[in-house]
Structure 1
Amino acid sequence: MEVVSESDDAETSIIHLPDDCLSFIFQRLDNVADHDSFGLTCRRWLNIQNINRRCVQFECSFTILNPASLSQPNPDVNSYHLHRLLTRFQWLEHLSLAGCMVLNDSSLTSLRIPGARLRGLYLDCCFGISDDGIFTIASFCPNLRVLSLHRCNISDIGLETLARASLPLLCVNLSYCPLVSDFGIKALSQACLQLESVKISSCKSITGVGFNNCSPTLIYVDAESCQLEPKGITGIISGGGIEFLNLSGVSCYIKEGLVPIGSGIASKLRILNLRMCRTVGDESIEAIAKGCPVLQEWNLALCHEIKVLGWEAVGKWCRNLKKLHVNYCRNLCDQGLLALRGGCTNLRILYMSGNARLTPTAVEMFRLHRADITLRTEDMMAIGPYWRTYPQEWT
């Protein structure tokens, strides 16, 4: 029988494994409890756990997939807590401070610790963050790709600061930032040539003209409830790369102001949300149906001015359409449904409810002739590529 000496046994102990081996083991722990308790073993293992942490999100903050609502806002997270957190986790790539409403501009000075490695920063509903905080971010986070400023107190000055810093931004969330206007958007879109996604929902001072001559990399724009002008809509699609466009509830002053979308510039458009665009008419619908050949999902719910000619254009030209929303469209009648039934050869889901002019007979005939289409009553849109920028750990 072979005898193992104490010295031999010590040499094979896990304690003597180099840090890279311990990191390899830590990264492959499948059990959540083991993953969280790894650092309780000793100081060295705690350090291994800390340097392998890439994402931090406060559990108290609102759900990152639904930034429109706060679930458990945390008024207690202050500058001291943030400094201790970033001192411990110095290798972070994604940091969410969403819902930490006590934090102010001076709190962000702690970003100098992990700043060079930071790729995503989420400050949704940090009401104390203003243009001064944006200057700090631009100074300490030169490699930032994703910046979410939902409901922050920033203005065009902050966006100009980001533009001058030449950050490699891909995705920016400016929804519900009332002080942001076309001037700030222009500065950002002209400086950030890799920009892919922009959210400007409910920014009432933005008309869209700031996007003129934007980069062809811009594929996603969420402009829900904005007061866009026809020239602004042209500006949004001017780069030619747009694939996802949300214009739900926009205030467009000209009835056929959406015609430019079908001019051929937005030929890559796949998802278009025109929900509650109550004045959009047949001319715009026909232009979009012809000029957006790869359109896969189109939300026309509550678009009351679309009549038979518009529905016939959808049926005739939207050959790649897979999902169509027609909920509560007042002028969708039996003839319009017949046009949809005879066209849209790839349609698979039709969201339809509250259409008072449709007769039960027309609906049953649609079911009979298009058994390949599922009729649904809910009005759910695809989320779009912007939300894919969140780390997998948060989804």
Structure 2
Amino acid sequence: MDPISPTFPPLKTLKPTPTAATTTTTSPPPPHNTTPFPEEVLEHVLSFTESHSDLNSVSLVCKSWYQIDRWCRRKIFVGNCYAVVPQVVLSRFKDVRSVTIKGKPHFADFNLVPDGWGAHSLPWIAAFSEGFPMLEEIRFKRMVVTDEGLELIAKKFRNFRVLVLSSCDGFSTNGLASIAANCRNLRTLDLCESEVDDRSGNWISDFPDSYTSLESLNIACLGSDLRFCSLERLVSRCPNLKLLRLNRAVPLEKLATLLEKAPQLVDFGTGSFLTELSTEAYLKLTKAFAGCKGLKSLSGLYDVAPNCLPALYPVCSGLTSLNLSYAAIHSPDLIELVGNCPRLQCLWVLDYIEDGGLEMLAQSCKELRELRVFPSEPYVQEPNVCLTEQGLVSVAMGCPKLQSVLYFCRQFSNEALLTIAKNSPNLTRFRLCIIEPECPDYLTNQPFDDGFGAIVEHCKDLRRLSLSGLLTDRMFEYIGTHAKKLEMLSLAFAGESDLGLHYLLSGCKNLRKLEIRDCPFSGRALLANTAKLETMRSLWMSSCQVSYGECKLLGKKMPRLNVEVMDERGVPDSRSDDCPVEKLYIYRSLVGPRLDSPAFVWTMNENTAQEVRLDNE
């Protein structure tokens, strides 16, 4: 027996009953038409194709289609900035106008990726400035962006239109000033959830007086006071401005002025909503909101004063999206506000809404498609809110179009999960976070195997799943058997043995991203499923039982993957091969190990692999 390839039992599968269609011998298909497909027609068809995977498939049909895609592709997506280097992209495509690049692993959002890990954007920006001078759009997510990079964008791309920096860091308002001063055709500036060195609010004054093209401005993550007179002038001279999300430093009494300047807004994020307004100021604000006839999305509402909420009521009937994840509005006021929004399709809210508020939501908002409920005090043992599984059950039973759920709570039951599964078969994203790790069904004290099993069995189009609570390997067998369209899975404090991980890797044919923390999994299931790992975009494991020796074997066995070990305790070679590593990150790469690894990251490959024999017992 191969010492590094443990065997696992196969998943139980149902064999189809033979039918006439499967037993009758069929004639061979007719020969393919050899008439060349007109290039002009194909170019026209590709111009309407938005899916990156579809375009990639087109390029593999034949050499001529590859060349057409090479010259006609205008948008590229890089799901991992270390999967390829900029030079490969430049040689592959010739006239790109829009790029989207993702950097750090998703668990960086939870501070699990060490500082200084990488994902530097400057090499990409520098390469694009030379190879794609007509580039118009850049979207970075979880990347390190510097002021130098922003200055390069501002100076090199003369027709630059869109800059989206989502969950990025490393830059300051000085870099934003360069963008404002030089990008005369800028339409979108979006700093969603980024960490910005906010040195001054004066950068907003760097937009030229002749600048009028702004359509979308999201600066909600900034902390300092903006120069309001400059912001007001900017808003007033941009007639196509549709999205404006302010930071909490913009006072409530200033909102009416901005809304009066931009009644065409579709998406508005308020600043602070706390100030006590005079009667005149309150009426002015109410009138300003009433003037925004096309407003569909509302967010912000920092530090809410409940007596100011009725000023929002004139626009509530038209809202389809409401983000209250930063609004500490308690249940009675929250119920009244949400109850005025019958067309809601998306609601983000704190647990202050409680079960009663979610029951009202289920009765009032039949178009709801997405619900996210966040904890107001996640580290308090017994918070003063009444939110249980019943709130989500009410929404599942009352909102037939529900597709996406993120739900934080402190108790749940298998019965509730079964009800949700039966009433919401259209779910594509289901993320349940029971705050207490390894918490069982509070009614039966049993694991959540049957409940989550019902979710993956009934929700046939499920693509993203996050699990919590007490779970055994049986649950992972359910996932491997039923979740055939699952693309992303997040696990924490779950499972019993490597068998559970084996069920996932051998059963989920479309799995692309797997995130695991604090689970009893070693590298055995990884070594037994290397073929599956090579089809995935990435695997993250932290605080598990994968040993350094297993990581070396993985690196040797999978030369087409980067197997990165992160350990801030020092060089792993100083410890024995059976010592568990802190973090493991495996991802596909066309170019081998990256060249900017920090001192705490080691890439396992043939040079680091040694002969290691693992006990299979």
Query: TM-score band (shorter)?
Result: 0.5 to 0.7
* 2:341 partner SS: coil
Of 323, 333, 348, which residue of structure 1 is paired with 2:472?
333
Q: Specify the code of the residue in structure 2 equivalent to 1:284.
A: A
TM-score by length of 2: 0.45
2:265 aligns with: 144
Cα offset for 1:298? 0.8
Q: Specify the code of the residue in structure 1 equivalent to 2:324.
A: I
Cα offset for 1:143? 0.9
Identical positions, percent = 17
Of 369, 382, 405, which residue of structure 2 is paired with 1:272?
405
CA–CA distance in structure 2, aligned partners of residues 111 and 318 of structure 1: 47
Q: Specify the code of the residue in structure 2 equivalent to 1:261.
A: V
1:196–1:220 Cα contact (<8 Å) kept: yes
Give per-residue Cα distances to partners, 1:222-272, cap 9 Å, x unaligned: 22x441222222344532222222113365434522211121x32222221
CA–CA distance in structure 1, aligned partners of residues 471 and 183 of structure 2: 59
Cα offset for 1:64? 0.9
Q: Specify the code of the residue in structure 2 equivalent to 1:191.
A: V
Q: How many residues align?
A: 321
Cα offset for 1:277? 2.0
Q: Specify the code of the residue in structure 2 equivalent to 1:363.
A: L
1:30 aligns with: 134
1:359 aligns with: 497
Matched, 1:123 2:123: no
CA–CA distance in structure 1, aligned partners of residues 415 and 307 of structure 2: 28
1:214 aligns with: 341
Q: Call closer, same or farther: CA 1:283–1:181 in 2, change over 3 Å.
A: farther
Report which of the two has the higher share of strand.
Answer: 2
Q: Call closer, same or farther: CA 1:372–1:101 in 2, change over 3 Å.
A: closer
2:367 aligns with: 241
1:182–1:206 Cα contact (<8 Å) kept: no
CA–CA distance in structure 1, aligned partners of residues 395 and 159 of structure 2: 54
1:214–1:236 Cα contact (<8 Å) kept: no
1:64 aligns with: 191
* 2:496 partner SS: coil
Q: Specify the code of the residue in structure 2 equivalent to 1:256.
A: Q
2:391 aligns with: 257
Q: Specify the code of the residue in structure 2 equivalent to 1:201.
A: S
CA–CA distance in structure 2, aligned partners of residues 252 and 312 of structure 1: 27
Structure 1 unaligned spans of 5+? 1-28, 39-48, 58-62, 380-395
1:87 aligns with: 209
Q: Which 10-residue stretch deviates more, 304-313 or 265-274?
A: 304-313
Q: Call closer, same or farther: CA 1:340–1:369 in 2, change over 3 Å.
A: closer
Structure 2 unaligned spans of 5+? 1-132, 136-152, 161-180, 377-384, 442-447, 518-617
Cα offset for 1:203? 1.7
CA–CA distance in structure 2, aligned partners of residues 227 and 173 of structure 1: 16
Matched, 1:205 2:205: no
Matched, 1:315 2:456: yes
Q: Call closer, same or farther: CA 1:114–1:50 in 2, change over 3 Å.
A: farther
1:46 aligns with: none
1:297 aligns with: 429
Q: Call closer, same or farther: CA 1:227–1:305 in 2, change over 3 Å.
A: farther
* 1:228 partner SS: helix
Kindly report the root-mean-square deviation, in angstroms, between the aligned alpha carbons of the 2 structures: 3.9
Matched, 1:55 2:187: yes
Q: Call closer, same or farther: CA 1:339–1:181 in 2, change over 3 Å.
A: farther
2:410–2:434 Cα contact (<8 Å) kept: yes
TM-score by length of 1: 0.67
